[in-house]
Amino acid sequence: MTDTFPDRLSTDPKSPYYDGPLLERGVGIKFNGVEKTNVEEYCLSEGWVRLAVGKTMDRFGKPMTIKLKGTVEPYLREPE
């Protein structure tokens, strides 16, 4: 598998942008130069991320998210 990332990636298995094998390898996200650990979805071409807001859930049991615009840099995490 190459180290190229899709334009859009989601952690939700019901999303059309979900990629299980890539997520299992460990994808990290730097947003505006700061590493974020609560990213639910990102889009490289449009330059945004969806971040989980605390432990709050919506009525369907999914985390509440906020969409922020900026520079998105995905990378593969090192195996520990």
pLDDT for 10-68, tens place per residue?
999 999 999 999 999 899 999 999 999 999 999 999 999 999 998 999 999 988 999 99
Q: What is the pTM of this model?
A: 0.85
What's the residue count for the chain? 80
Overall domain count for the chain: 1
Structural domain harbouring 27: 8-76
Domain presence at residue 2: no
Alpha helices in the chain, H assignment, sequence order: 20-25
pLDDT at 2 over 80: no
Domain presence at residue 67: yes
Q: Sheet containing 34-36: give its strands across.
A: 34-36, 27-31, 72-76
Domain presence at residue 3: no
Domain presence at residue 1: no
